[in-house]
Structure 1
Amino acid sequence: MQASNDYLVITAAGDDKVGLVEAFSAKITETGCNIEDSRMTVLGGQFAILMLVSGPWNALSKLESQLDGLGRQLGLTITHKRTRERERRQPTLPYHVEVVALDHPGIVHKLARFFAGHGINIEELSTDTYPAPHTGTRMFSVHMEVGVPASTHIPTLRADFFDYCDDLNLDATFEPSRS
Structure 2
Amino acid sequence: MNQLIVSFITADRPGIVEVLSDLITQHKGNWQKSSLHQMSGVFAGVVEIAVSPENSQLLADKLATLAGFKIQIEQVSPEQEPSQSQLVLELTANDRVGIVQEISSAIHHHGGNLLKLVSTQESAPHAGHELFKAKVTIAVSPQDIDAMIVALENLADDLMVDISR
Q: TM-score, normalised by structure 1?
A: 0.85
Q: Distance in 2 between matches of 1:119 and 1:91?
A: 13
| Preserved contact between residue 14 and residue 46 of structure 1 (Cα < 8 Å) | yes
Paired AA for residue 119 in structure 2: T
Q: Would you say 1:84 and 2:77 are equivalent positions?
A: yes
| Preserved contact between residue 106 and residue 148 of structure 2 (Cα < 8 Å) | no
Q: Distance in 2 between matches of 1:111 and 1:94?
A: 17
Q: Which residue of 2 aligns with 1:140?
A: 132
* Equivalent position to 1:51, from 44, 47, 52: 47
C-alpha RMSD over aligned residues: 1.7
State the 4+ residue runs in structure 1 displaced beyond 4 angstroms. none
| Preserved contact between residue 165 and residue 172 of structure 1 (Cα < 8 Å) | no
Q: Distance in 2 between matches of 1:11 and 1:22?
A: 16
Q: Which residue of 1 aligns with 2:32?
A: 36
> SS in structure 1 opposite 2:65?
helix
Q: Would you say 1:96 and 2:88 are equivalent positions?
A: yes
Q: Distance in 2 between matches of 1:83 and 1:91?
A: 20
Structure 2 alignment gaps of length 5 or more: none
Q: Distance in 2 between matches of 1:44 and 1:146?
A: 27
Q: Distance in 2 between matches of 1:146 and 1:156?
A: 14
> SS in structure 2 opposite 1:29?
helix
Counterparts of 1:1-179 in structure 2, within 5 Å, are 5-70=1-66, 72=67, 75-87=68-80, 91-150=83-142, 152-166=143-157, 169-176=158-165
Paired AA for residue 54 in structure 1: A
Q: TM-score, normalised by structure 2?
A: 0.91
| Preserved contact between residue 9 and residue 70 of structure 2 (Cα < 8 Å) | yes
| Preserved contact between residue 123 and residue 129 of structure 2 (Cα < 8 Å) | yes
> SS in structure 1 opposite 2:105?
helix
Paired AA for residue 129 in structure 1: Q
Paired AA for residue 50 in structure 1: V
The size of the alignment, in residue pairs, is 165
Query: 1:22-51 CA deviation, whole Å, 9 max, x = no partner?
Result: 111110000111111111111111101101
| Preserved contact between residue 95 and residue 130 of structure 2 (Cα < 8 Å) | yes
Structure 1 alignment gaps of length 5 or more: none
